[in-house]
Amino acid sequence: SQTIHQWPATLVQPVGSPLSLECTVEGTSNPNLYWYRQAAGRGLQLLFYSVGIGQISSEVPQNLSASRPQDRQFILSSKKLLLSDSSFYLCAWKHPGTANTGELFFGEGSRLTVL
Amino acid sequence: GENVEQHPSTLSVQEGDSAVIKCTYSDSASNYFPWYKQELGKRPQLIIDIRSNVGEKKDQRIAVTLNKTAKHFSLHITETQPEDSAVYFCAASRSGGSNYKLTFGKGTLLTVNP
């Protein structure tokens, strides 16, 4: 069976510090990978998605970047955090070849607080 | 791009009553409409979805209806139970082009009072 792991679960960082959130998927190959941000009252906002190693599509220009160094690894980064980066970040994956349909499987999320 | 509006933002019902959550979408090419449920402190999970070639789909106490002409779709929960309390998200996506992403609504916090 497939599983998704996301860490760290919680993170408190000072303004201007770097960020690295990691996500790995097990039990499948070449998954479509996603980073979402969930702010209170604002739903699930797609930040980045990837359909293959090194292939990153950005949906929202901002202080964050994403990378996919391995097939089942997806990393969300920032060089300098802003207060506005405080949020709940969710990694998700989908089976390849499902086009625009198919279930999104979410990780347990990472709560980031920037002070 | 696609824009999905969801209403209401909060909904409180008595146990046993029905609950209806409505969403509208802007992209007439959207053809896939899933609903996700997020219980407090947990990850969102798919509960039901519908494709544009179908007008209604049911799964036990949950049903989704789609009106392509009006570009809106709704989630119906009958005989609500306290465990139905959660945030519900609708979403829409289209095939072709950047067909790998879902656009979500802002969510509805459903509270079922015993």
Cα–Cα distance for residue pair A7/A9, rounded to 1 Å: 5
Band (pLDDT 50/70/90 cuts) for residue B98 is low
A46 → closest Cβ in B6, B101, B106: B101
- Residue B79 to chain A, least CA–CA distance (Å): 26
Nearest CA in chain B to A97: B100
- One-letter amino acid of A71: D
Find residues 49-88 of chain A whose CB sits inside 8 Å of chain B: 49, 51, 57, 59
Instruction: State residue B97's pLDDT score.
Output: 60
A11 and B CB contact within 8 Å? no
Structure tokens at B48: 């039901």
Cβ atoms of A70 and A5 within 8 Å: the answer is: no
B66 bridge partner residues:
B73
Report the alpha-carbon angle A36-A30-B37, nearest 5.
Answer: 35
Chain centroid to CA A49: how far?
Answer: 8
User: In the structure, what pLDDT confidence band is assigned to residue B99 with cuts at 50, 70 and 90?
Assistant: low
d(CA B109, CA B56) in angstroms, rounded, equals 23
Interval B49-93: pLDDT, tens = 999 888 999 999 999 999 999 999 999 999 999 999 999 999 999
Q: How far apart are CA B30 and CA B93, in angstroms?
A: 5
Q: pLDDT tens-digit profile of A44-59?
A: 999 999 999 999 988 8
A99 pLDDT higher than 80: no
Which residue, A58, A107, A60, A62, is CA-closest to A81? A62
Length of chain B: 114
Tally A–B CB contacts below 8 A: 63
B107 and chain A: CB distance < 8 Å anywhere?
Answer: yes
Q: Band the pLDDT of A43: cuts 50, 70, 90.
A: confident
Within 8 A of B45 by CB-CB distance, chain A residues are 106
